[in-house]
Structure 1
Amino acid sequence: MTDLAATLRHGLADALAAEDWVTDPLWRGAVEATPRENFLGQALYKPSEPPGPTTWTPVRRDSIAPEDWLALAYEDTTWVTQIDGILAEDAPGPLTGAPTSSSTLPGLVAQMIERSGAAPADRVLEIGTGTGYSTALLCHGLGEHNVTSIEVDPHAADRARKALADTGHTPTLITGDGLRGHPGGAPYDRVIATCAMRHIPYGLLRQIRPGGTLLVTLAGWSFGHGLVRLTVDDNGGASGRFLPGYTSFMIARAHDRPPHGPFELLPGERRPSRIDPAILDDWAGRFVAQLAVPSAERLGLGTEQILLDVATGSQARTRRAQDSDGWTVEQRGPVRLWDAVEDAVETWQRAGSPHPSEFGLTITPDAQRVWLGTPDGPSWALPI
């Protein structure tokens, strides 16, 4: 099995290089050297096929042939390892629920590390240890003494700590809220977040040296995502552009939407919609709409979108018009959610409906604003 695992690791590295997921020999070597099978624990979850709610079925390592487990480990696939806090090895059987920890596809992990600019001698803080696989890649490339990783979930943290020790890695591992960083190890040259955030905690930014970088996925309750690389300045702020591609991560638990029970869609003011609601199913369109209504949770699909404002209880609901080829929107509450979405989407469409890589983010001690095109272009405030 040792020879097979090595062959599969090299095959994975070759595949990632061929697809330009990894281009730096340092990180390709890390992929070739790191046994991903060690970081999947004793089980993982496989999702059911659509349609219908996703059912997560645990696949236990000891229930399949060793070569089949290795084959799973070296797929360039994200394997969910925890559902609603239940590790796959502890699951009594198939579950429904939300993923809360995973082993992200290796190509994205390697690309994230490269995009952060991490290089030998850099001190790196990783937010979201997860299974520990990405932490092991960092240790291989930078040395354990330069790597600090934080995991909020104690069960996932314990499992990652064991996996890292078993593979000979001894980075600084912290169990706690990664959004607070780890001031004891600051300042860092690079901070890499493998969870998404609604805004950048200012205290975290202050733990990065001037000229250092933060790589993080900006996300929200409408499920828009954009990966941004920020460079810290000398004045307590940071700025940078969103990057090409399509990157999404689970949102940090402290930034996740508040739970709520059943809700009722109440009557409101109805009018024609100026935009096709299905634009919110587009990656960039959804990102733009979320900027406009950052405290709204998005439900629905296609022409039947539903927005529920967590802060005020405001609602918006769209549907196809019965007597025309257009759409209608019904709104109620103090915040006219769809008005704000229409304004933002039309601004974006006038600019040519670009990918989020045409946007940037500027942070000062007083505000965080996402802008389109240039820092003095149209902009939207993040919720801080």
Structure 2
Amino acid sequence: MSLDPQAAATSSLRTAMVDRLASSGVLTDPLLRDALLHVRREVLLPHAYVRVSGPGADPIEWRLLDGSHPDDRQEWLDLIHGDESILLQRDGERLDALPRGPVTGGHMTSMSTYSPVTVEVLQALRLEPGQRYLELGPGPGVSLALAAAVTGSRLAAGVERDGHMAAFARRNLDRLGLEATVVEGDALDGHPAGGTFDRIHSGIGVPCVPQAWVEQLAPGGRLLTTLATRTPSWPGRLGVTRTRTGLIEATLRGGPRGYRPMLGHRWLDATDHRARVEADPGTPRATRLAPPPDDAYGFWLAAAYRVGAVVRDFRAETMTLVAPEEDSWAVSGPGDGTVRVHGSRDIWAELEELHVRWERAGRPDAYRVELGDGTGPRHVTSGPGPKALSWTLPPLPAVPRRTPRPGAPADAVPLLAGAVRDVAPEDTARPGGGA
């Protein structure tokens, strides 16, 4: 039986998306490729916000695309099958019967990350049929749907804090017939009623992995999450495995992208300092440290912790680092062996010192994390010996508890904190993601 013209056009867009991901080298897993070809994104992402106003606008102007409206359909289809993040929810709003067209003000509180990140994460987890999968902060459920398509019926579950988003994802997943479960609750508590899982993925960034997540990892299992610091510029990806004998091993790596942080976490932002930095880059001084390359992920990850409270402005012509709370910044080069510094804090001097330590440690690109039993500090180290580069992870912050919304499912865990998949500070960070 042939597809109707609209279904055929949508299927063609899915195929083009998959071919693009494969030809770029991002997509290599045949099981995930098959899932991407068959999971209908238009069901999971029936609408999308498009930002109309430029950087710095307040209030922000948006336009809502309604996928069921003929005038919006082609733009919406192209968007949801492209490589950009899909903005879905503004200020925690209800997600049924949203009015299409112009909207003023508000901030995005949920989004679906762009496809290359989704593929990278799911491939890193090495999904296979028959595995039990847990998604923490699934948002609209794109990653959850793809995982369910690989693992099989009734094996994939998600825990979503936002009641409106949980209902939205549950309804759309049911339409796809994937038999994935979405529970309304606090992702930081894991899924207490769900038992153990072979694969756990967090769509929210956390400063330190909750012990509840580690305890729900089955023998032979893998867990993947973003470790969030105060800077959005240099995210870390924490991979945790439980061996067949029950031992926990954890490795932290840097990278170009990460998921947005948990509710209540506040990133630093260089945007308010941009005009001042351009007007007065600072006092020049000599330096032996050329700007480290962007892909020196092990170094920049260490900088997020060891230098700290610093954010990079990726919009600047030369490398510009700002410490907003100390009203200090450093502007490199360009390429003449000098750096310009301003304020009470010499950020570049801290970077110089760290670079020496990183070199002595052997230029590590990965760090071992000692998780322990969750009662003490979590230590990070590049290896044994006195030359190792080390630091301690901050604890999870205390977040006020909330009462579950009326009508929440009986198996919902108490609400505490979860994902706010909001837009990153403009042009001061690499793109992040949501589930």
Q: Give the alignment's TM-score, normalised by structure 1.
A: 0.79
Q: Give the counterpart of 2:128 among 107, 119, 128.
A: 119
Matches within 5 A, 1:252-267: 252-256=262-266
How far is the alpha carbon of 1:86 from its aligned partner?
A: 4.0
1:196 equivalenced with 2:217 (yes/no): no
How far is the alpha carbon of 1:199 from its aligned partner?
A: 1.2
How far is the alpha carbon of 1:115 from its aligned partner?
A: 0.8
Q: Give the counterpart of 2:370 among 345, 359, 362.
A: 362
Identity level (%): 26
| Corresponding residue for residue 307 of structure 1 | 323
Matches within 5 A, 1:278-357: 284=297, 286-292=300-306, 296=309, 298=311, 305-307=321-323, 315=326, 317-319=328-330, 325-331=338-344, 343-348=353-358, 357=365
* TM-aligned CA distance change 1:130 to 1:65, over 3 Å: same
Q: Whose helix proportion is higher, 1 or 2?
A: 1
Structure 1, unpaired ranges of 5+: 264-269, 310-314
| Corresponding residue for residue 81 of structure 1 | 88
How far is the alpha carbon of 1:318 from its aligned partner?
A: 2.5
Separation in 2, partners of 1:139, 1:174: 15
Which digits, 9 at most, give the CA deviation of each residue in 1:39-62, with x for residues without a partner?
113x21223475544654322332
Q: Whose strand proportion is higher, 1 or 2?
A: 1
1:70 equivalenced with 2:77 (yes/no): yes
1:219 equivalenced with 2:228 (yes/no): yes
Structure number with the bigger relative contact order (C-alpha 8 A, sep ≥ 6) is 2
Q: CA RMSD in A?
A: 3.7
SS at match of 1:327: strand
Amino acid corresponding to residue 364 of structure 1 in structure 2? G
How far is the alpha carbon of 1:308 from its aligned partner?
A: 5.5
How far is the alpha carbon of 1:163 from its aligned partner?
A: 0.8
Aligned length: 361
Q: Give the counterpart of 2:108 among 92, 95, 99.
A: 99
Separation in 2, partners of 1:55, 1:152: 27
Matches within 5 A, 1:85-234: 85-86=92-93, 89=98, 93-95=102-104, 98-223=107-232, 224-233=234-243
Contact 1:307–1:317 (Cα < 8 Å) also in 2: yes
SS at match of 1:22: coil
Contact 1:116–1:215 (Cα < 8 Å) also in 2: yes
* TM-aligned CA distance change 1:280 to 1:93, over 3 Å: farther
How far is the alpha carbon of 1:189 from its aligned partner?
A: 1.0
* TM-aligned CA distance change 1:231 to 1:340, over 3 Å: farther
| Corresponding residue for residue 10 of structure 1 | 15
Which digits, 9 at most, give the CA deviation of each residue in 1:125-150, with x for residues without a partner?
11121111211111111123111111
| Corresponding residue for residue 383 of structure 1 | 394
Separation in 2, partners of 1:326, 1:67: 49
SS at match of 1:179: helix
1:44 equivalenced with 2:48 (yes/no): yes
Which digits, 9 at most, give the CA deviation of each residue in 1:266-306, with x for residues without a partner?
xxxx9979787976988745533221255x36476667644
Separation in 1, partners of 2:103, 2:93: 11
* TM-aligned CA distance change 1:68 to 1:153, over 3 Å: same
Separation in 1, partners of 2:226, 2:203: 8
SS at match of 1:125: strand
SS at match of 1:252: coil
Separation in 2, partners of 1:110, 1:73: 15
Separation in 1, partners of 2:162, 2:22: 32
Contact 2:329–2:347 (Cα < 8 Å) also in 1: no
Contact 2:229–2:304 (Cα < 8 Å) also in 1: yes
Which digits, 9 at most, give the CA deviation of each residue in 1:170-225, with x for residues without a partner?
22211111121012112111111122221111122111123311111222211121
| Corresponding residue for residue 267 of structure 1 | none
